Amino acid sequence: MSDLTALPVTALQAALASGETSAVEVTRAHLDRIAAEDGDLGAYLHVDADAALQRAGEIDASGTAGTGLAGIPVALKDVFVTEGVPTTSGSRILEGWRPPYSATVASRLHDAGTVLLGKTNMDEFAMGSSTENSAYKVTRNPWDRDRIPGGSSGGSSAAVAGRLAPFALGTDTGGSIRQPAAVTGLVGHKPTYGSVSRYGLIAFSSSLDQAGPMARTVMDAALLHEAIGGHDPRDSTSIDAPVPTVVEAARRGAGGDLSGLRVGVVRELGGEGARDGYDPGVLERFTEAVALLEAAGAEVREVSCPAFDLALPAYYLIAPSEASSNLARFEGMRFGIRVGDDGSRDIDEVMALTREQGFGPEVKRRIILGTYALSAGYYDAYYGQAQKVRTLINRDFLAAFDDVDVLVSPTSPTVAWPIGARVDDPLAMYAADLCTLPASLAGVPAISVPCGLSEGLPVGLQVMAPALSDDRCYRVAAAVEAAQGAPLADRLAERAA
């Protein structure tokens, strides 16, 4: 058997089903690689090898390995609550917390028979684009270990790109699945808002957060998406609709024929009207990807979405506002750390000290920003105004989808930057989300699929579709993947070999 960590999930399924390998072997292969590589890569915050092997043994014993996702290892971003398994959301304030319950998506993956390898590193409370805001460790990009793996789901992207997991779950609030996927050469999909349960996902910005898959191939991502998607009565914002048939769409797209598909290049995002800040190499790969779509039969036109230019300021008012409220529960009373409770201080001081020492600088920055934006007298000018911008962005999408089936743009304006390069410049950090924010604010699905290298580093193509048409994202992404011959991730493996 070849290296099990190099196989896509589809190949692992076949190998498990045929009895060529076992869940224990697959799990051990990944655990070995974690042991060998993760000291340097820093993808994981928590790995319980014994628990993973035991679980894999149970799956083998049950005889279900290879049916669906049974026996396939998976990694979860540490933002997902997992019963009895440490969950920190990348924050010091939750150090030592073992949740008494599991997120719906974690339960669904467990019920599907997957084997939990561990919890992956992330920017604290999912706030960041480089994973450098983790309270625990730096995560490195497997393509260039001096560079960031993107963020906030950078632990998941590094784990999957580095073959320390076959696939992983991330969450995306303003681009936190798509951007790390793009800069590590992975496929990452942010589903339609409300189509994947948020129950047990530690909230950053409730109206934007979505869980989604990160994988080395479009089909692997689709398999993970189908396993976690669908209505959840515990989440009031969950849509009661069938999961889009993304696996079927990925299969169909892999055929490479996009005849009749109308594709819109967003003028404001990497199109003619794009502003400064895009790497020339990123724009070149993007142009080539658009040419691939045309070659596959798609009909390409430019579409203007003027309100997209306002997405960044609107996002950086809405997300911090909701975060300032969502993070209020972290005050040391019921879970996580408590600071200063020595009998000499009153309750307000204990809560303040706990938050002072428990939160990192970026989290504090956003709490202050959001608290200010929601304050009496400022609400209308900031939060209220940002919500209006959100409506405008929605209208731009609706108008665009009257004319085209999908919209495309680069996923990230740049390739992965060197670790430390932007830590002192929050605005430069925020600009990394430029292309991903509109879909977040409108709640529409968007996928990032690799479309080549620039300076030896991966570039991603973003495909956006109307709400609940996630299948279109997968179809186009699969066609792009097929047109390039092989998944980009394979080239990293070849390079290492």
Partner 1 sequence: MSETLVDLDDVLTRYEPVIGLETHVELGTESKMFCGCSTTFGAEPNTQTCPVCLGLPGSLPVANAAAIESTIRIGLALGCRIAAWSRFARKNYFYPDIPKGFQTSQYDEPLCTAGHLDVEVDGQTYRVEIERVHLEEDTGKNLHVGGATGRIHGADHSLVDFNRAGIPLVEIVTRPVPGTGAKAPEVARAYVTELREIIQTLGASDVRMEQGSLRCDVNTSLAPVGSLEWGTRTETKNVNSLRSVERAVRYEMRRQAAVLDAGGRVVQETRHFHEDTGSTSPGRSKEEATDYRYFPEPDLVPLAPDAEWVEKLAADLPELPAARRTRLQQEWGLSGTEMTWLVNAGALGLVEQTVAAGASPAEARKWWLGELARRANDAGVELADLAVTPAQVAELTALVAEGTINDKLARQALDGVLAGEGDPRAVVAARGLAVMGESDELVAAVDAAIAGAPDVVEKVRGGKVQALGALVGAVMKTTRGQADAATVRRMLEERVLSS
The residues binding partner 1 (CB under 8 A) are: 80-81, 87, 89, 94, 97, 99-101, 103, 198-203, 205-207, 233-237, 321-322, 324-325, 327-331, 333-335, 347-348, 351, 371, 374-376, 379, 383
Closer residue to partner 1, CB minimum distance, 99 or 150:
99
152 labelled catalytic: yes
Residue in 444, 447, 462 with CA at minimum distance from that of residue 401: 444
How far apart are CB 40 and partner 1 at their closest, in Å?
A: 30
Is the bond preceding 206 in cis, omega lying within 30 degrees of 0? no
Residue in 154, 96, 166, 99 with CA at minimum distance from that of residue 130: 154
Cβ-Cβ contacts under 8 Å for 106 (sequence gap 6 or more): 76, 80, 81, 82, 83, 116, 200
Closer residue to partner 1, CB minimum distance, 116 or 219:
116
409 labelled catalytic: no
Cβ-Cβ contacts under 8 Å for 233 (sequence gap 6 or more): none
Closer residue to partner 1, CB minimum distance, 31 or 169:
169
144: which 2 tokens? 């260039």
Helices of type H across 212-331: 218-228, 246-254, 280-295, 311-326
Q: Among 91, 129, 130, 176, which one carries the catalytic annotation? A: 176
Q: Among 152, 156, 448, 454, which one carries the catalytic annotation? A: 152
How far apart are CB 371 and partner 1 at their closest, in Å?
A: 7
How far apart are CB 33 and partner 1 at their closest, in Å?
A: 29
How far apart are CB 226 and partner 1 at their closest, in Å?
A: 22
Residue in 163, 172, 222 with CA at minimum distance from that of residue 198: 172
Closer residue to partner 1, CB minimum distance, 23 or 202:
202
Name the β-bridge partners of 214: 168, 188
Residue in 6, 146, 2, 134 with CA at minimum distance from that of residue 492: 6
Closer residue to partner 1, CB minimum distance, 233 or 255:
233
Assess contact for 110 and 102: CB atoms under 8 A.
yes
Task: Report how far residue 404's alpha carbon sits from residue 400's, in angstroms, rounded to the nearest whole number.
Answer: 6
How far apart are CB 375 and partner 1 at their closest, in Å?
A: 6
448 labelled catalytic: no
Write out the catalytic residue numbers.
Answer: 77, 152, 176
